[in-house]
Amino acid sequence: MSKVELWDISKSYDKQANVLNGINLSIEKGEFFVLVGPSGSGKSTLLRMIAGLEEITGGTLKIADQVVNHLRPKDRNLSMVFQNYALYPHLTVEQNILFGLRAKKVNKQEQQERLKKATAMMGLTDLLKRKPRELSGGQRQRVALARSVVSDAPLCLMDEPLSNLDAKLRAHMRIEVRRLQKKLGLTMIYVTHDQVEAMTMGDRIMVLNDGKIQQVGDPITLYNEPANLFVASFIGSPKMNLGKAVFANQMLKVEDFLEIDMGSITPATKIVQTANLTIGIRAEHILPATDKEATHELEVINVEQLGNETLATFEIGTELWTAKWLGQWSIKVGEMVPVHISKDKLCFFDTDSGRLLKATSPTKETEVVVV
């Protein structure tokens, strides 16, 4: 296992504008660490810098307590799995898996021992003589994983390895990759643009946008306490419902449309009424209600029946809000439905800076006083 440390890492291609700026990060031994962000955020570039495939413009990179800025990829004791599998089409599965070991001149007996162990783990034992063109996408991905496993490198880098697979296989491979990482005790750095992958696989997640770290934490912390509006809108499926809001007479008015009774606001929990606010609420916190329990009645503009749950969309001023309800609900577009929205389930953000002012009450006992 290898610990990875990044100190003030930056990357520039033209010596003027940095595509990565001030990356400070410590990844622990045996950790499954996920880099997530939209396309162009710099996550793959950062991974390639750790691998030695991209030059580091500024800062220090340490792997296993050794500065590796100027080491070649082969000297960094790591393996890498690429998005496009990177298999040699003219070689068999066995030859592809053993290619790196043969290049390093590992003795043949050890090669075969590692091959047998890796292929049994990946379910490839019966496919060793096939060429990549004779394999399915999932099988090709398992070959790429097996090639990484036989290297015995303590650090494994993965660059969107599941993005070319169909949804069902992707879900299965998420479990397989996670199980493999735990079984081998690898330190794994995994890049994805899919926040569902990030949430379900990572011990910790780093959200990257425009070359800057937005937040680092475990999945539940990022979901419940997003550091800013970008994280709030990126983490979660459906994304957090957001809307601009103002206080007036103990009422919170959202998008000049929806009024939420805030009751008595104590000094410890008061958010300055003159602040430029954006509020957020998760889809599962907009609850279906009886007429007696309802705080609001909203018009349905879209319904998605997913079998195990129902997604209902409402128009809140200029924003579209989604509610997620367990089970199958017989609601139709155009119907007015009663819902319950609790003030305790709201997150508050500073609209100008985007930063979180107050998380939902159940997830953050210490209230933030905004001054």
| Domain boundary assignment for the chain | 4-228, 230-363
Residue 161, pLDDT above cutoff 70: yes
Tell me which residue of 154, 147, 141 sits closest to 98, measured CA to CA: 147
DSSP bridge partners of 312:
303, 323
What confidence score (pLDDT) does residue 269 get? 53
Alpha helices in the chain (DSSP H): 43-51, 93-103, 108-122, 137-150, 167-184, 195-201, 219-224, 229-234
Query: Which of 152-156, 172-176, 248-252, 268-272 shows the highest mean pLDDT?
Result: 152-156
What confidence score (pLDDT) does residue 1 get? 61
Let me know: does 68 contact 52? Beta carbons within 8 Å.
yes
pLDDT-derived band at 362, boundaries 50, 70, 90: low
SS3 62: strand
Q: Report how far residue 101's alpha carbon sits from residue 351's, in angstroms, rounded to the nearest whole number.
A: 54
Residue 247, pLDDT above cutoff 60: yes
Q: How many helices (H) and strands (E) does the chain have?
A: 8, 21
Q: Report how far residue 285's alpha carbon sits from residue 299's, in angstroms, rounded to the nearest whole number.
A: 17
Residue 317, pLDDT above cutoff 60: yes
Q: For 198-240, write each residue's pLDDT tens digit.
A: 999 999 999 999 999 999 999 999 999 999 999 999 999 899 9
Provide CB contacts within 8 A for 36, sequence distance 6+. Answer: 43, 191, 192, 193, 194, 195, 197, 198, 205, 206, 207, 208, 234
pLDDT-derived band at 122, boundaries 50, 70, 90: confident
Both tokens of 6, joined, read 């990044």
Q: Report how far residue 333's alpha carbon sits from residue 336's, in angstroms, rounded to the nearest whole number.
A: 9
Minimum mean pLDDT among 23-27, 219-223, 271-275: which range? Answer: 271-275
167-184 and 137-150 helices cross at what angle (nearest 10)? Answer: 10
Residue 197, pLDDT above cutoff 90: yes
What confidence score (pLDDT) does residue 265 get? 57
**Residues 314-351: b if buried by 16+ CB within 10 A, e if exposed:** bebeeeebbbbbeeebebeeeeebbbebebebbbbbbe
Residue 206: phi, psi to the nearest 5? Answer: -115, 120
Provide CB contacts within 8 A for 217, sequence distance 6+. Answer: 204, 205, 225
What confidence score (pLDDT) does residue 69 get? 95
**Distance (Å) of CA 320 to CA 149, 192, 238:** 46, 26, 11
What confidence score (pLDDT) does residue 208 get? 96
* Mean pLDDT estimate for the chain: 90
Q: For 342-357, write each residue's pLDDT tens digit.
A: 999 999 999 999 999 9
Question: Model pTM?
Answer: 0.88
The CATH superfamily holding the domain 230-363 is Nucleic acid-binding proteins (2.40.50.140)
The CATH superfamily holding the domain 4-228 is P-loop containing nucleotide triphosphate hydrolases (3.40.50.300)
Both tokens of 362, joined, read 């159940």
pLDDT-derived band at 45, boundaries 50, 70, 90: very high
What confidence score (pLDDT) does residue 199 get? 94
What confidence score (pLDDT) does residue 20 get? 94
Q: For 78-112, write each residue's pLDDT tens digit.
A: 999 988 888 999 999 999 999 999 988 999 999 99
Alpha helices in 90-166 (DSSP H): 93-103, 108-122, 137-150
Q: Which residue has the higher pLDDT, 10 or 360?
A: 10
108-122 and 137-150 helices cross at what angle (nearest 10)? Answer: 140
Tell me which residue of 247, 35, 18, 58 sits closest to 158, measured CA to CA: 35
What confidence score (pLDDT) does residue 32 get? 97
Q: Which residue has the higher pLDDT, 267 or 118?
A: 118
What confidence score (pLDDT) does residue 59 get? 96
